[in-house]
A and B are shown apart, each in its own frame.
Chain A
Amino acid sequence: MSLHAYLVLAALVFVIGLYGVLTRRNAVGILLGIELMLNAVNINLVAFARFHGDVAGLIFTLFTIAITVAEVAVGLAIVIVIFRVRKTIDADHLDLLRG
C-alpha cells in the first residue's frame, strides 16, 4: 500500500472524530471524538516514519499515546467534578464562562 492510502484513511478517521466533537452534547462523548482525532494523527506519524525510514515518527507516536492517556485521566476527572457541582455533563448547559 502507498503512503497516500494510509494518509486518506487517517484523514477519514480524523473527520469522523471531528464530527463527533462538533455534534455530541455529552462531555464524555466529546472526549471520545478527541480520542479518535488523536488516533488518526498517530496513524499519520507511523505511516510517515515507515515510508521515510525515520524512527522519530514512532517515538513521537509513543509520546502522543502517553500524553493522551494523561489527558483522558485529567479530562474525565474534570467531567466528574463538573457533574458533582452542576449535576449535568451536557456541554450546552455548561456556559458559565460565556460572555
Chain B
Amino acid sequence: MSVEVLGFYGVAVVLLASSLAVVLSPNLFHAVLFLAVALVATGGVFLLLQAPFLFGVQLLLYAGGVVTIVVFAIMLTERLVGERIGQASRYVFNGAVVSAAVLAGIVGFLLRSRAAGGGAAMAGDTTPEIGRALVGPFAAPLELLGVLLVASLLGALYFARTDD
C-alpha cells in the first residue's frame, strides 16, 4: 500500500470517529472538542488532496476561529443558566432512518456514475494558482466576501449588545 492510501484510511478513520463523537457525545463541551479534531482531520484530507493552502486556512479559520467562538458561546450560556446544559437527543430512530436513506441515495448515485476522469489531475503546489485566481476571475467575489464579513461582524455585535 502506498503512503497516500495509508494516509487516506488513517485520516478517514479519525474523521469519521470524531464526527460520530460530535453528534453522539452527551456533553456539549466534549462535542465541540471532537469537532475540533474532525476539522483538523478534514484539513488532513485537504493535504492528501495536495491543497496545503486550504489546510492552513482550515486550521486558522475553522479549528482556530469557529471552535473558539463555540466554546465561548457554551461558556456564556452555561454561566447564565447556572447548571450544565443537558444534551439529550430526540427522534433518534427517525434521524437515523433519514440519514441512512440519504447515505443510500448518495452512494447509490456514486455507484451508478461512471468513474469521473475529466481533465488532467492537478500536480504539485496549487497555492500560486489560487492566488492568481483570487486577483483575476474571482476578484469581485473576494471583495463581496469582505463586505459579508463586515456585515456579519456588525450583525453579531448588534445581536450581542446589551440594552442600556
Which positions in A face B, CB cutoff 8 Å? 1-9, 11-20, 22-26, 28-29, 31-33, 35-36, 39, 42-43, 46-56, 58-59, 61-63, 65-74, 76-81, 83-84, 87, 89, 92
B130 interface neighbour in A55, A65, A77, Cβ under 8 Å: A55
B110 interface neighbour in A8, A76, A84, Cβ under 8 Å: A8
Q: Say which size band chain B's interface belongs to.
A: 35 or more
Collect the chain A residues with CB atoms within 8 Å of residue B151's CB.
70
B40 CB, min distance to chain A CBs, angstroms: 11
Which positions in B face A, CB cutoff 8 Å? 4-5, 8, 12, 15-16, 19-20, 22-23, 28, 31-32, 35, 38-39, 42, 45-46, 48-51, 53-54, 57-58, 61-62, 65-66, 69-70, 72-74, 76-77, 80-81, 85-92, 94-96, 98-100, 102-103, 106-107, 110, 115-122, 126, 129-130, 133-134, 138, 141, 145, 148-149, 151-153, 155-156, 159-160
Rounded to whole angstroms, the CA-CA distance of A36 and B31 in the bound complex is 12
B41 CB, min distance to chain A CBs, angstroms: 9
A12 interface neighbour in B98, B103, B118, B134, Cβ under 8 Å: B103
Rounded to whole angstroms, the CA-CA distance of A11 and B99 in the bound complex is 10
Nearest 9 A/B pairs, CB to CB? A20-B23, A22-B95, A70-B152, A77-B159, A23-B95, A53-B119, A77-B156, A23-B89, A52-B118
Rounded to whole angstroms, the CA-CA distance of A64 and B88 in the bound complex is 30
Q: Which secondary structure dominates where chain A touches chain B?
A: helix
